[in-house]
Structure 1
Amino acid sequence: MARSGLGEFLRSRRERITPTDVGLPAGRRRRTPGLRREEVAQLAFISTEYYARLEQARGPSPSREVLAGLARALRLSDAERVHLHHLAGTPPGPPPGPPRDVRPSILDLVQRLPLAAAGVMSAIYEVLAWNDLAAALMEDFSAVPPRDRNLARRAFLGPHSDGRRLFGVSDAGEFAHSVAVGLRAAVARYPDSPEVTGLVDELLAGSDEFAGLWSSGDIDVPRPLRKTFQHPMVGPVTVNCDVLDVPDRDQHVVIYTADPGSSSEEALRLLSVVGTQRMDVSS
């Protein structure tokens, strides 16, 4: 184990994170930039003394479990996590699960698209972030539990109120097929993740459609370029669908825009004004 290198790396990663980044109060009279040692230890579920010894190059070689806790506490990227393992002398295993933290610059991008409905999805189709127009077009995701923001679960298990599957979108069948393909890839990238394998098991048990798509073995499907939402208030809204990959987070930014001058553009303008008020947008 490269003890000094490990300690220096841990210290540098600790000093770049602010308390507010990890949901801790900033407090007063902080003599060090970033997090305190005891805060990192708390987030990683290890003792402060043990963490201090690691930074001071006096600690024993940390286990995979400890390294996983440190990577999570310090919000390491995949490349940084691998580097941490190499410094500790422990070969890195597969990533523990799909990242859920969205880069601030991506969050800012989503909010800067006033005439586009935009959101961020994880590798297992969790809606992680969205702007106001996306909430008005599809659903106010802030009003439902995080578990129900998973579009894979919604596509195959519902609910489908008023016969509207996935917000009344025209390509629900094609999207379902792409979900099966995407989850197959996620299982390959995160073979030890209970949340990934658990989601697949849940869909296999609860949906004959998913079971059939899963058994097909498909590994590639084209992404749709256009789709139409059947909105309960403004009617059909046809949009262009563009997907931007965020490789370091294994996430996707999905952007829906309407053709300039079209009735769908006018519908989006209306939705941007009224938002989710007096709308039943559950699907």
Structure 2
Amino acid sequence: MMDGELGAFLRSRREALRPEQVGLPAGPRRRTPGLRRAEVATLAQVSVEYLTRLEQGRDNRPSPEILAALARALRLAEADRRHLQQLASVDHRRQLCTGRRPAVSRTVRPEVRGLLDAVRDRPVYLLNRIGDVLAWNDPFDRLARPLGLLDGDRPNLLWFVFTDERARAHFADWAELADEQVAELHRLRQGDPATDAFADRLGRTVGSVFTSRWGRRPVAAQASGVRWLRHPEVGPLRLAYETLELADDQQRLVVHLPTDADSAAALDRLLGRRPGGLRSIAS
């Protein structure tokens, strides 16, 4: 199981909440980040002793009413509320038992490969839950290979983002990208020892730039958005991305679309297409 994860998650959200967000004075003598346990206990109308037991992992069966009260007191966003409910549910605790979780898959079904090959005018790639780039189409190869993302035999998006200096140079919104990748890794973690081992190895390699994000236990990953890219061959690109989950495989397809005419023209040049053809531009 993810021993103590419920308590660690509650503690991370308590430490991230500023006093003024709940109408309390900041005060000059605060020695710890965020709210004190006594303040959260008062807001949630539970005892400090009980909140302490929860945070220390000595109690992992709070009632739905207490969960709701803690979620309100901690001002949890919807993604955080769902994650808290998962951590506290009996069914989820059974799911989190190690040994029952399927191994991280690197197998790509033929149907998925066929889908990648069928998309010939937009970059598409496939990830597993720890960010291994398992398969991609030719447009993504032309987009990503000059960045360095596909170097090596087993490219990994998170490893590239955090360990390769080229990532900071190419992604104008690197910090946002890093936050989102950590949130996605944590969201898909669910007691998987391979994910924890990967996170530990990445943390030991790059230090606080990853561990500070991982320690905040983010789960609000964005399935869609816009990415700014400084491409070494065609210049600035503004690409929308859409993430499609393949539930049976615990894998994700990511599709990129240009968001404006300049980006569409740059992508045409990159893919060797003649400008002026029919194309879709994300609005």
TM-score by length of 2: 0.56
Shift of 1:142: 9.9
> Are the counterparts in 1 of residues 187 and 220 from structure 2 also a CA contact under 8 Å?
no
1:156 aligns with 2:169: no
Q: Single out whichever of 223-232 and 92-101 deviates more from structure 2.
A: 92-101
CA distance in 1, matches of 2:228, 2:121: 16
CA distance in 1, matches of 2:149, 2:205: 25
1:94 aligns with 2:96: no
CA distance in 2, matches of 1:238, 1:127: 21
1:184 aligns with 2:191: no
Q: 1:264 to 1:251 in 2, by over 3 A?
A: same
Q: 1:142 to 1:157 in 2, by over 3 A?
A: closer
Correspondent of 2:116 among 101, 110, 119: 110
Q: 1:104 to 1:142 in 2, by over 3 A?
A: farther
1:119 aligns with 2:125: yes
| 1:168-213 Cα deviation digits (max 9, x unpaired) | 123321221122222223432423x3xx332111122122111101
Partner of 1:135: 141
SS in 1 for 2:266: helix
> Are the counterparts in 2 of residues 126 and 150 from structure 1 also a CA contact under 8 Å?
yes
Shift of 1:224: 4.6
Shift of 1:145: 2.3
Q: Single out whichever of 102-111 and 126-135 deviates more from structure 2.
A: 102-111
SS in 2 for 1:138: helix
CA distance in 1, matches of 2:200, 2:149: 26
CA distance in 2, matches of 1:143, 1:188: 27
Q: 1:96 to 1:233 in 2, by over 3 A?
A: same
> Are the counterparts in 1 of residues 122 and 257 from structure 2 also a CA contact under 8 Å?
yes
Correspondent of 1:145 among 152, 167, 174: 152
List runs of 5+ in structure 2 lacking aligned partners: 1-96, 274-283
Shift of 1:245: 0.7
Shift of 1:95: 2.4
List runs of 5+ in structure 1 lacking aligned partners: 1-90, 275-283
Shift of 1:105: 1.6
Partner of 1:265: 264
AA of the residue aligned to 1:179? Q
Shift of 1:226: 1.1
AA of the residue aligned to 2:249? R
> Are the counterparts in 2 of residues 120 and 254 from structure 1 also a CA contact under 8 Å?
yes
Q: 1:92 to 1:219 in 2, by over 3 A?
A: closer
> Which stretches of structure 1, 4 residues or more, deviate above 4 A after TM superposition?
140-143
CA distance in 2, matches of 1:143, 1:219: 26
| 1:207-238 Cα deviation digits (max 9, x unpaired) | 21111011112222334511121111110111
AA of the residue aligned to 2:228? T
AA of the residue aligned to 1:105? E
Partner of 1:247: 247
AA of the residue aligned to 1:202? R
Shift of 1:94: 1.9
Q: 1:120 to 1:143 in 2, by over 3 A?
A: closer
| 1:86-134 Cα deviation digits (max 9, x unpaired) | xxxxx99322422111121211111222221110011001100011111
Identity %: 24
SS in 2 for 1:188: coil
> Are the counterparts in 1 of residues 116 and 136 from structure 2 also a CA contact under 8 Å?
yes
Partner of 1:278: none
CA distance in 1, matches of 2:222, 2:162: 19
SS in 2 for 1:187: coil
> Are the counterparts in 2 of residues 94 and 190 from structure 1 also a CA contact under 8 Å?
no
Q: CA RMSD in A?
A: 2.5
